[in-house]
Amino acid sequence: MKDDTAAPALAARQEKAGFKESATPFLRAMLAIVWKDLAAEWRSREVISSMLVFALLIIFIFNFALELNPQTRADLASGILWATFTFAGTLGLNRSMAVEKDRGCLDGLLLAPVDRTAIYFGKLLANLVFMLAVAAIVLPIFSVLYNVNLFNPGLLMVILLGSWGYVAVGTLLASMAVQTRTRDVLLPILLFPVAIPVLVAAVKASGGYMSAAPWDEIAPWINLLLVYDVVFTAAAFMVFDYVVEE
């Protein structure tokens, strides 16, 4: 569907640039970017390792700050989990866009004959993989440390949906933040207030699953998560062109 709508604009753009052969299809371009990010990460292991250590540190800080005992632990678990993902997520988002900006890689990507939204979705998916990878390691550690079982399919779905919404708007804002003077401090300031609806819904839904609440109580939050996932993805998809144009 995406290819149909993008094709005429893309063709016009290529004609102007003097391209003869057809451009890289949307899906292939997007997967190429995801692959590039994952391969670079596999070789350097910079982003995931720093996110992971940071996430564990946050969990320990929460433990000292809140003096978690078995009773309060259960009520606070979903909040702590999402605070951890949020903070670790900013680290990853900042890094993934900063490497593009530093060596002029972004300019290279923009010069490539691909639809620019393919770049956005490629970065989004790569960031999502990083966040889910961190979650996949944090969850068992959290389960062991606090003696709670976090492996239920509902909770995993909430983590997927919540991470998607967070990364969808985060990728857009990170690509703006790295182009400013105050880039390292700016991303969390820009991202947190906007991402609050996603985080509130994710915390409430996770809490519901952890305390085995009935579906009627969880459903509104899942709906809210879905709505914000769609809205943020659609909005970022529409405005991403303006963020990277020069």
Length of the chain: 246
Please enumerate in sequence order all residues whose Cβ is within 8 A of that of 142, keeping only pairs 6 or more positions apart, or say none.
59, 77, 81, 148, 150
Cβ nearer to other proteins, comparing 129 with 165: 165
- Kindly report the number of other CB atoms within 10 A of residue 45's CB atom: 11
Q: Give the one residue of 12, 105, 136, 235 binding other proteins; rule: CB under 8 A.
A: 235
Q: How far is CA 218 from the centre of its chain?
A: 23
The residue whose two tokens read 């605070």 is 83
Nearer Cβ to other proteins (154/197): 197
Question: 23 or 167: whose CB is closer to other proteins?
Answer: 167
User: Total number of residues binding other proteins (CB under 8 A)?
Assistant: 27
Among 42, 64, 215, 242, binds other proteins (CB under 8 A): 242
99 touches other proteins (CB under 8 A): no
Residue 69: count of CB within 10 angstroms of its CB: 7
Alpha helices in 103-214 (DSSP H): 105-111, 116-146, 153-177, 183-210
**Which is nearest to 26 in space by CA: 90, 91, 119?**
119
Determine if 79 is a binding residue for other proteins (CB under 8 A).
Answer: no
Q: Does 97 bind other proteins (CB under 8 A)?
A: no
Terminal alpha carbon distance of the chain: 28
> Under the criterion CB under 8 A, does residue 219 sit at the interface with other proteins?
no
- Please check whether residue 47 is in contact with residue 130, taking contact to mean a CB–CB distance below 8 angstroms: yes
Tell the smallest beta-carbon distance from residue 149 to other proteins (Å).
29
Pick out residues in 196-215 that bind other proteins (CB under 8 A). Answer: 196-197
The span of 28-36, 83-91, 96-104, 236-244 binding other proteins (CB under 8 A) equals 236-244
Angle (CA) 242 47 96, round 5°: 10
User: Does position 173 bind other proteins by CB under 8 A?
Assistant: yes
Q: Does 216 bind other proteins (CB under 8 A)?
A: no
> Based on CB atoms, which residue is closest to other proteins, 63 or 179?
179
Contact footprint for other proteins (CB under 8 A): 169, 172-173, 176, 179-183, 186, 189-190, 192-194, 196-197, 220, 224, 231-232, 235-236, 239, 242-243, 245
